[in-house]
Amino acid sequence: MPRYFLHIKEGPDVVIDPEGQNFADLPAAQVEAVEVARDLMAERLRAGRPMDLNSEVIVSDEHGDTLARVEFQAALRSDDPS
């Protein structure tokens, strides 16, 4: 199974996923990226912290190439990560 990395971009800052996870394919990694975005937004709402809907989860491969981006605002709208 291929390994994908889910990095979090908030403003100019990027939190790098150093380990990655194995997923069957890119669509499966994108579904997980939507869940990650939703979880992060929920944590911020519960804590009463500000949330930047322009933040995103960047899905990359083992070579560091960006394969997909899931914006937080898009994760609110749909179950379809594309």
Q: Where are the domains of the chain?
A: 3-77
Burial of 30 (0-12, 13-18, 19+ CB in 10 A): buried
pLDDT band, residue 78 (cuts 50/70/90): low
Q: For the chain, what is the largest distance between any 2 Cα atoms, rounded to a whole number of angstroms?
A: 38
pLDDT band, residue 19 (cuts 50/70/90): very high
Burial of 61 (0-12, 13-18, 19+ CB in 10 A): middle
